[in-house]
Amino acid sequence: RVLPVVATDEIDSYKEHDPRQFIVACEKYGVPQQRHRVILVGIREDLGDVELPPLVAKAAPTVNSVIHLLPRLRSGLSRTRKGDKYVRLVDDADSWLKSIQDQIGLKDSMNSPRWLVNLDDEIRERIVGSISGNKQPPQSRGSSFIRKSKTLNESHPLYDHFIDERLPGVCNHETRSHLDRDLVRYLFAAAYSKHHGISPRLHQFPSALLPNHKNATSGNFNDRFRVQLGDQPSTTITSHISKDGHYFIHPDPTQCRSLTVREAARLQTLRIVI
């Protein structure tokens, strides 16, 4: 026999062996991620009429509740485009902050880019405010291990799952390097999300921030830059996140980066076993 793992009252309207009765929407069962997967359990016929206790529905933790106490980090600064070539940039905290500030004209408001001037006042203020008072993250780009005593509230429903008192910190909390223009795209996207409560589609980006490729205005990749909203569970975190950083932008505008491996693992509810 093949049995579903979701509660029967959720599937009474389905016919027997309807594939939909085997779909588990993880965010309905206490997982901070909108991941939908087919899960079924096979029971040997010789075991008789075995009853399978269903999964217990639980509210999904939000992205912020899972990752906001992890150390603040800056993204890496990799290259800039000059003409048809890419030029490597110096990657340090001062260069990172200066690159973002220069691109939004923070030190010279008379030369602020037109795309920033034309934004709604609230979003423009969020962008400028996120960077004008931004202090260098104390852990810079992070590390394979960062010593930190509190990275999750003890009242959090996943505290016992994530936290091992024998490990006095967090592992694999390191940021990736990004193009200088991507930092400002991430900054805009996160500020937009803070204001509107949704991640912007490409057609909602200022034209000056659109990536330099032919698909940018085709409508085929309208969600190319996706912010993980802080007050909701995340979208599905893929195993190839290193290649799809644009889809996993951190909700905090001051960090201008994609998620780290540790943040992604928490949203997937993976844990470290000692």
- The pTM (predicted TM-score) of the whole model is 0.89
d(CA 30, CA 26): 7
Q: What is the pLDDT of residue 274?
A: 64
**For the residues 219-231, what does the mean pLDDT come to?**
84
- Among 45-59, 212-226, 234-248, the range of highest mean pLDDT: 45-59
63 pLDDT above the threshold of 70: yes
Classify 186 as helix, strand or coil: helix
Write the DSSP assignment of 103-151 as a string of letters.
Answer: HTTTT-GGG--HHHHTS-HHHHHHHHHHHHTPPPPTTTTEEEEEE-S-S
Region 125-146: mean pLDDT is: 85
Instruction: For residue 150, give both structure tokens.
Output: 């509190």
Cα separation, 188 vs 252, whole angstroms: 11
Q: Taking 90 as the threshold, does the pLDDT of residue 266 lie above it?
A: yes
Q: With cut-offs at 50, 70 and 90, classify the pLDDT of residue 55.
A: confident
pLDDT over 90 (residue 109) = no
pLDDT at 16: 63
Residue 17 pLDDT exceeds 70:
no
Q: pLDDT of 166-197, one tens digit each?
A: 999 999 999 999 999 999 999 999 999 999 99
Tell me: pLDDT of 111 over 90: no
Q: Give the contacts of 7 (CB within 8 A, at least 6 positions apart).
A: 54, 55, 57
Q: Are 103 and 111 in contact (CB under 8 A)?
A: no
Between these two residues, 207 and 8, which has the higher pLDDT value? 207
* CB crowding 25-62: b at 16 or more within 10 Å, else e: ebbbbbbbbbbeeeeeeeeeeeeeeeeeebbeeeebbb
Question: What local confidence, expressed as pLDDT, does residue 22 receive?
Answer: 85
Hey, what are 253's tokens?
């505008």
Please, which pLDDT band fits residue 241 given cuts at 50, 70 and 90?
confident
Q: Considering only residues 239 and 32, tell me which one the structure prediction assigns the higher pLDDT.
A: 32
